[in-house]
Structure 1
Amino acid sequence: QTAPRTGVEELDELLAADAVTLVDIRNPGERADGVIPGAVPIPLAQLRVRLDQVPAGKPIVVHCAGGWRSSVAASLLRAQGFENVSDLLGGYNAWAEAHVPA
């Protein structure tokens, strides 16, 4: 089964419409470099024990720095019964690159 992926432009539209829950699974040191506004910070290593902190009721997009860990996190969430879970294509790095001031 192919896992759904969300692109940066689509994520921006979903966030603007308050139509998604964004989960940042990077470690605290990585978040010091910048965050996507509105993201819920839950490091991947803590995700399984902090599932109750993942807001339900909206589609979920998870992101890490580059994309690999977020695919693991999305798979874990789906295995735990969360529906409509995708990961951010290219992770925070892709989002940050798309939002560099001109």
Structure 2
Amino acid sequence: MNELARKIVPSEMNNMRIEIEDFVSLYNEGKCELVDVRVPFETAVWQVNFGLKIPANELPERLNELPKDKLIVVACPKTDRSNMARTYLASEGFEVKYLVGGLLGLMDALKGGKAKGIKL
């Protein structure tokens, strides 16, 4: 955790987050995995039909479900929980970033015909 704390400086911000356009490109290339960290009530009301659904509070018990050979992109409606989840997963040795704009930003970027741009 000490090593992780040393990386909490402005020059490391780009290593902590990923823009939506970059995420979509990497996802389509099979180089990253989306992890939706919302709780089950939220995912039942508003579904995202790709990526893994692992609530942030269940991450410690479900680390084995995460790929070690891909970038993990964590997301929630905005960025609060996803940034906390990113910090935890980084402390566990995962290559991980949070999605700038969150799931709300992603859905806005994929609305209309743009949703066809994501490979399911």
Q: Above 0.5 in TM-score?
A: yes
Q: Which amino acid aligns with 1:11?
A: F
Partners of 2:20 and 2:105 lie apart in 1 by: 7
Instruction: Please say if 1:65 is aligned against 2:63.
Output: no
TM-score calculated relative to the size of structure 1: 0.89
Partners of 2:65 and 2:47 lie apart in 1 by: 21
Q: Match of 1:27?
A: 39
Deviation at 1:36, TM superposition (A): 5.2
Spell out the pairing of 1:75-86 with structure 2 (5 A cutoff).
75-82=87-94, 84-86=95-97
RMSD after superposition: 1.4
Greater gyration radius:
2
The runs of 5 or more residues in structure 1 that have no matched partner are none
Residues 54-93 of structure 1, C-alpha deviation per residue, up to 9 Å, x if partnerless?
12111111111111100000100011121x2100011100
- Percent of pairs with identical residues: 33
Which of residues 91, 97, 109 is equivalent to 1:98? 109
Q: Match of 1:16?
A: 28
How many residues are matched?
A: 100
Query: Larger relative CO (CA 8 A, sep 6+): 1 or 2?
Result: 1
Partners of 1:29 and 1:7 lie apart in 2 by: 26
Q: Which amino acid aligns with 1:92?
A: L
Q: Which runs of 4+ in 1 moved over 3 A?
A: none
DSSP 3-state at the match of 1:57? coil
DSSP 3-state at the match of 1:18? coil
Partners of 2:47 and 2:29 lie apart in 1 by: 22
